[in-house]
């Protein structure tokens, strides 16, 4: 959710039940602007809120020249003091997925430990303890990366790839029509494409290279992962991700307004196949 449009966008996603306190909203308006100046971001987004047991983490994301690759995440407890998170790398993802289980605590100094008992050999009964440790910051960085990877959405045509390969905001995007917006295949994942390359050449030939360089939402598995609804007296289109409960994408048809926000507990919904 772009920081400039925060005050009216929050109303549009409020149908999911979580809204921001007036105090936090005011604090965000000033602190996100300061953040943009300090870190020299092109755009600053309010990414969302991860709710921990004791405290909530407010997450902001700054975008550079390439919207897809130049992303920096920051977190804060009070919307005023922001701390930079390290970028998520593959070894970090592995470390976190083994160590960190359960909910976020809300404590910045918490360290996740997970002891795994391993048997040495088949006959010996000696058990080794392997302790995996991960810091909260790593877990936050990895969670944000995974949520962005699996559930960040943009309407088709909102971003274009310029000839240098940079992904940028499409200033000519006027919004989807209502009939286009009612179909799930007008929406794309905002991440490095994974399923696009598996399409046949015939399908690829019909795509427009400047705007269709991302994965479609309809290629997601399981099929019912997205909930598409018109809310607010049919004014706003809301997409909710069922794999990460709390991820809400909004788009007002026939206007360039769109964005997404995650307000939830930062835990993947592994039981989705049972719940559909």
Partner 1 sequence: MPKPRQLAPLDGEEQRLYYELLLGDRCPDPISKGAPCHPWTKEENPLPNVNEISFFLEQAGVGLGREETQRTFLALKQLVDSQELLRCRLWGKILGIESNYYIAEVEGKELDEEEEEQPDRTEEEQKDADTDDKEENAVPQSTYKPPPVVPKETVGTGANKFLYYVCKEPGLPWIKLPSVTPAQIDVSRQIRKLFTGRLEAPVKSYPPFPGNEANYLRAQIARISAGTHVSPQGFFLIMEEEDDEEGEPLQDSYDVNPDFEGIPVSEMAESLSTWVHHVQHILPQGRCTWLNLSMKPSEDIDEDEDMEEAEEEPDEPEPEVGPPLLTPLSQDAELFNTPPWTSKMSSTLTSVHAIAVLRSNLWQGGHAYASGKKFENIYVGWGVKSAGDGFSPSVPPTPLKEYVGDEEITEVPDPTPRDERELAEALVAAQEEMEGSDREDESDDDY
Token readout for 182 is 């009612």
- Out of 89, 177, 208, 227, the only residue in the binding site for partner 1 (CB under 8 A) is 227
Task: Tell me which residue has tokens 């917006």.
Answer: 181
| DSSP tag of 190 | S
- Cα separation, 71 vs 64, in Å, equals 7
User: Of the two residues 19 and 169, which places its CB atom closer to partner 1 in the complex?
Assistant: 19
Confirm or reject binding of residue 11 to partner 1 (CB under 8 A): yes
Confirm or reject binding of residue 17 to partner 1 (CB under 8 A): yes
- Cα separation, 42 vs 65, in Å, equals 7
Per CB under 8 A, contacts with partner 1 among 182-221 are none
- Using CB atoms within 10 Å of the CB of residue 262, give its burial: 0 to 12 exposed, 13 to 18 middle, 19+ buried: buried
Rounded alpha-carbon distances, angstroms, from residue 35 to 2, 26, 77, 81:
13, 14, 15, 10
Per CB under 8 A, contacts with partner 1 among 248-267 are 264-265
User: Of the two residues 14 and 93, which places its CB atom closer to partner 1 in the complex?
Assistant: 14
User: Of the two residues 162 and 273, which places its CB atom closer to partner 1 in the complex?
Assistant: 273
- Out of 7, 23, 38, 69, the only residue in the binding site for partner 1 (CB under 8 A) is 23
Confirm or reject binding of residue 224 to partner 1 (CB under 8 A): yes
Token readout for 156 is 């088709």
Least distance to partner 1, CB of residue 255, Å: 17
User: Of the two residues 78 and 89, which places its CB atom closer to partner 1 in the complex?
Assistant: 78
| DSSP tag of 122 | S
Per CB under 8 A, contacts with partner 1 among 75-104 are 78, 101-103
Task: Tell me which residue has tokens 């392997």.
Answer: 130
User: Of the two residues 92 and 245, which places its CB atom closer to partner 1 in the complex?
Assistant: 245
- Out of 245, 247, 252, 261, the only residue in the binding site for partner 1 (CB under 8 A) is 245
- Out of 4, 5, 16, 219, the only residue in the binding site for partner 1 (CB under 8 A) is 16
How many alpha carbons lie under 13 Å from residue 200 in its C-beta half-sphere?
Answer: 2
């Amino acid at each position: 959710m772009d920081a400039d449009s925060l005050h009216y966008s929050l109303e549009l996603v409020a149908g999911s039940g979580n809204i921001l306190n007036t105090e936090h909203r005011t604090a965000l308006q000033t602190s996100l602007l300061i953040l943009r100046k300090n870190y020299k971001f092109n755009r600053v987004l309010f990414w969302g809120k991860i709710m921990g047991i004791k405290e909530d983490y407010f997450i902001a994301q700054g975008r550079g020249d390439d919207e897809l690759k130049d992303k920096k995440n920051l977190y804060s407890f009070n919307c005023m003091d922001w701390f930079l998170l390290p970028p998520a790398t593959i070894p970090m993802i592995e470390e976190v997925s083994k160590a960190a289980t359960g909910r976020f605590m809300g404590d910045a100094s918490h360290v996740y430990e997970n002891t795994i008992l391993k048997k040495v050999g088949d006959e010996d009964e000696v058990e080794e303890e392997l302790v995996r440790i991960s810091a909260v910051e790593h877990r936050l960085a990895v969670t944000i990366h995974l949520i962005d990877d699996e559930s960040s959405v943009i309407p088709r045509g909102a971003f274009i790839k310029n000839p240098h390969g940079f992904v940028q905001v499409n200033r000519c995007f006027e919004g989807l029509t209502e009939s286009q917006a009612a179909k799930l295949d007008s929406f794309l994942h905002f991440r490095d494409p994974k399923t696009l390359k598996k399409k046949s050449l015939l399908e690829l030939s019909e795509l427009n290279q400047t705007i269709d360089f991302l994965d479609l939402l309809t290629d997601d598995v399981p099929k019912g992962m997205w909930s598409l609804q018109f809310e607010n007296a049919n004014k706003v289109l809301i997409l909710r991700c069922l794999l990460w409960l709390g991820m809400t994408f909004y788009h007002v048809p026939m206007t360039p307004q769109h964005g997404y926000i995650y307000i939830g507990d930062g835990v993947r919904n592994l039981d989705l196949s049972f719940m559909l």
